[in-house]
Structure 1
Amino acid sequence: MKEDKTFDVIIVGGSYAGLSAAMALGRSLRRVLIIDSGLPCNRQTPHSHNFITHDGEQPLVIAQKAKEQVLNYPTVRFQQGLAASGKKTNDGFEINTTDGEAFSAKKIIFATGIEDVMPSIQGFSACWGISVIHCPYCHGYEFSGKKTAIMANGDRALHLASLVNNLTSNLTILTSGKANFESEQVKKLEKHGIAVIEKKVTKVQHKDGWLEKVVFEDNSSRTFAALYAALPFKQHSGIPVELGCDLTEQGHIVVDNFQKTSVMGVFACGDNASMMRSVSNAVAAGNLAGAMVNKELVEESF
C-alpha cells in the first residue's frame, strides 16, 4: 500500500512550539505531519524555568512528554528528519527532506527556531545554556547574588545590566573592545557600581560547562559564576525565506498577531519569530498558530 504523503498541515520543527501547534490541530482532527531533526537549541540546558507547572524540569523531559501526548492524537504523525527545501504548489506547499522524501500540505507552520552564532572563544560553546546564558528570566534566579559578567556593548549591554542588576550587586560588563556607551549610560553604570572591562575575552575556563573564570587576551583573568552573552543569530532553516517570508531587521520571521507570515498559508511560531526566547512563550505561540491555521482551513471549506 502506497504511503500517503499529503496532509492538511506540515509543521517544520517538533520542539515546544511545533508540538503545541500540533496538539491544537490534532484536537481538531487535522491531518498533521511534524518534521523534526531532534536537535533543539536548548539541548545543553540542564533545567527549564519560568514555565508554570514545569519549573526546574529538564527541557528534554518536557519535550518527550509533550511528544507522547501529541502523538496520542491519531491524525498527527511524526517524521524524524531534516527539512531541506520547500516550494509552493497549486494545492499548497511541498516540503522535501534530506532523506529525499517529499510531503505536501495546504498549510505550513515553521517552528524551526534560530541558531546562535558562537564566538571563537575557547570553552564558550561548552558552557552555552548552562552557565553562559542569554536570558535573566530563564536563568537569572539560579545565579542571583553571585559574581556575574555580561559580554556585550552599548545599548544591549545596558539593557541586560538593568535586568541583571536586580539579581546581583556584583556585576561586570565585558565589552571585548572599546566600550560604546553614551555619557548618561556611563553615569548609570557608575551609579550602580557596574564595572566595565574592555579587554578582549579569549577563553572561558569551566568544569563540565560550569564557568570558573574568564581569561583575557593579556592572560589576566576574572572569576565569575555566570556570563550573560548577547549573541548574533541566524534562522535555523532557510526554507521560510526560500518561500518568500519577510524577516525583521533583527532577523526574525515577520508575523502578525495571529502568527501569520507575509506568505499566504505560511505561519511561524517560537524563537524564529519572537525575541521572547523561552519554552513558555514557544508553547503559547504554537498553540495560537495551530488554532489560526485550523481557522483558515475551516473558512476555506465551510
Structure 2
Amino acid sequence: MSFDVIVVGGSFAGQAAAIQLARARRRVLVIDAAAPRNRYAKGAHGIVGHDGKPPRAIVQEATRQLLSYPTAGFMDAEAVKAERVDDGFQVTLADGSRETAKRLVLATGVKDHLPEIDGLWERWGTSVIHCPYCHGYEVRDRQLGSLASSPHSWHQAKMLPDWGPTTFFTQGEYEPDPEQIELLERRGVTIERTPVVGLHGDAPGLTAVVLADGRKLEIGALFVAPRTSIASPLAEQLGCAVTEGPMGPYVEVDDWKATSVPGVYAAGDAAQAMQNASIAIASGTMAGVGAHQSLMV
C-alpha cells in the first residue's frame, strides 16, 4: 500500500506530525525503531498536561489516539534507507521490506555522545542530565555541577543557580572569557578548573565528583550538554542540507519544516539546535501541516 506521508520516528515530534495528517484524512504511516533519545529519563517535564509522565507512556497514549483514525498506521521497525522514486519516496526497512509515500517526514532524533568519564552513562537521565528546564526542578537545592563539553557550556552553568548552588567544571579545556567569568561570578557560580575524572555514589545516584588531583567535591546532580549526531542516515541519503549547530549537526528546514529536498520534511531534535520535548511537539505539528499543505496540488 502506498501512503500519502511516511513519518520516520514515532516519538514526540513524529506523533505530532502524524496526527495532523490523520485528522486531515491522509494515509499516514509512522515507522518507529523504539529507541528515542529520552528513553533514559523517568519523566518528561514542562509538557502542558503531561508534566512528570514517563516519556514512553506519553508516546503509547499518542499512538493509541493516532490509530483511532482510520487512515493512520504504525509499524515497529527500523527504516534503514530512503530514496526518491518516480511518484514520491521509498523507505526500506531493516527486514528488507519497503513502503512508499508521496511525502516524508523525518523525525528520527539524535544520539548523545557523552564525555569519556566512567560512570556518566550509568547515571544518564537520573543524576547526570542535560536540560535545566526538563530536569532542574527535580534536583533543586542540591549541589549542582555543570560539566563543560564545548565552548558554549558556560551558558548552561549561568542558568543553574536558579535551581541550586552551582560549580562549573571547565575540564581545564573550556575556559570562559573575562566577561563570561564576571557574569558567572555575579550569578554565584564557582569555577573549578581541575578536570572531573570520576563520579562517586551508588548509580544511578550521585553524591560527589572525583577530580584529577584526588579531591572529591559534593555534587548531587551533574548537568552536561553532550555532543549530538543525527540518529538516522536517511536525511544524508536523500541529500538534505545540514547545518552545524553548537552541539552537533541538524537538518536545515524552513518555517514549515521543509528540508532542502522537495517533499521531505524534518522535525524534532534532528531538525533544530534548541532541543526540548515541547519544542519537538511544536515542530512536528508544523511538519505535519506543511506536508499536508504540499499535497494540495
Fold-level match, TM-score > 0.5? yes
3-state secondary structure, aligned to 2:137: helix
Runs of 4+ in 1 over 3 A off after TM superposition: none
Tell me the residue number matched to 1:212.
Answer: 207
Counterpart for residue 294 of structure 1: 292
Matched with 1:53 is 49
Superposed displacement of residue 195, structure 1: 1.6
Superposition deviation, residue 35 in structure 1: 0.8
State how far apart, in whole Å, the 2-side matches of 1:127 and 1:224 are: 13
Q: How does 1:249-260 map to 2 (within 5 A)?
A: 249-250=244-245, 251-260=249-258
Shift of 1:248: 1.0
Compute the displacement of 1:201 (Å).
2.1
Quickly say closer, same or farther: Cα 1:7–1:137, change in 2 above 3 A.
same
- Residue 186 (1) aligns with residue 181 (2): yes
Amino acid at match of 1:146: R
8 Å CA contact 2:41, 2:126 repeated in 1 = yes
Amino acid at match of 1:253: V
Partner of 2:11: 15
- Whether the aligned pair in 1 keeps the contact of 2:15 and 2:284 (CA below 8 Å) is yes
Checking the alignment, whether the CA contact within 8 Å between 1:154 and 1:180 is kept in structure 2 is no
Once the two structures are overlaid, the 10-residue window that deviates more, 183-192 or 126-135, is: 183-192
Contact 1:156/1:230 (CA < 8 Å) preserved in 2?
no
**Which residue number corresponds to residue 260 of structure 2?**
262
Check the 8 A contact 2:158/2:189 in 1, yes or no: no
What is the aligned counterpart of 2:274 among 273, 276, 279? 276
Compute the displacement of 1:166 (Å).
2.2
* Secondary structure of the corresponding residue to residue 263 of structure 1: coil
Partner of 2:35: 39
| TM-align CA RMSD | 1.5
Distance 1:206 1:29, change over 3 A: farther
For the residues of structure 2 that align with 1:77 and 1:23, how far apart are their CA atoms?
Answer: 11
Instruction: State the identity %.
Output: 37
Structure 1 residues 217 and 162 mapped into 2: Cα distance closer, same or farther (>3 Å)? closer
The correspondence for 1:248, drawn from 237, 243, 246, is: 243
Change (3 A) 1:297 1:206: farther
Distance 2:105 2:200 in 1: 40
Q: Go from structure 1 to structure 2 and tell me whether the alpha carbon gap of 1:230 and 1:45 turns closer, same or farther (over 3 Å shift).
A: same
Q: What count of residue pairs does the alignment treat as equivalent?
A: 294
Q: Residue 52 of structure 1 aligns to a residue in which SS? A: coil
Q: Which amino acid is the alignment partner of residue 273 of structure 1?
A: A
The alignment partner of 1:209 has SS state of coil
Answer yes or no: is 1:196 the counterpart of 2:177: no
Quick check: 1:149–1:172 contact (8 Å CA) kept in 2? yes
Deviation track 1:123-179 (CA, whole Å, cap 9, x = no partner) reads 1012112121111111112222221000016752321122112222x1101111244
User: What is the alpha-carbon distance in structure 2 between the residues aligned to residue 138 and residue 274 of structure 1?
Assistant: 17
Inter-partner Cα distance in structure 2 for 1:206 and 1:260: 46
Q: How does 1:105-144 map to 2 (within 5 A)?
A: 105-144=101-140
Whole-angstrom distance in 1 between the partners of 2:255 and 2:151: 27
**TM-score for the superposition, normalised by structure 1:** 0.93
Give me the whole-angstrom Cα distance separating, in 2, the residues matched to 1:45 and 1:83.
24
Q: Judging changes above 3 Å, is the alpha-carbon distance between structure 1 residues 80 and 142 closer, same or farther for their aligned structure 2 residues? A: same
1:249-291 C-alpha deviation (Å, 9 max, x unpaired) = 2211101111111110000011111233222112111111111
- Aligned partners of 1:137, 1:294: CA distance in 2, in Å? 32
CA, structure 1 residues 154+187, in 2 after alignment: closer, same or farther (shift >3 Å)?
Answer: farther
Q: Aligned partners of 1:74, 1:45: CA distance in 2, in Å?
A: 32
For residue 73 of structure 2, what is the aligned residue in structure 1? 77
Tell me the alpha carbon deviations over residues 14-64 of structure 1, each in whole angstroms, 9 at most, x when there is no partner. Answer: 111111111111111111111111111111101111111111111111111
Amino acid at match of 1:88: R
Structure 1 position 80, deviation (Å):
1.0
Q: In structure 1, what is the Cα distance between the partners aligned to 2:148 and 2:32?
A: 33
| Contact 1:248–1:254 (8 Å) recurs in 2 | yes
User: Is there any run of 5+ residues in structure 2 with no aligned partner, and where?
Assistant: none
The answer to whether the 8 Å contact 1:153/1:174 transfers is no
In 1, the alpha carbon distance for the partners of 2:150 and 2:94 equals 41
- Aligned letter for 2:97? E
Aligned CA distance change for structure 1 residues 264 and 11 (closer, same or farther; 3 Å): same
Distance in 1 of aligned mates of 2:89 and 2:201: 46
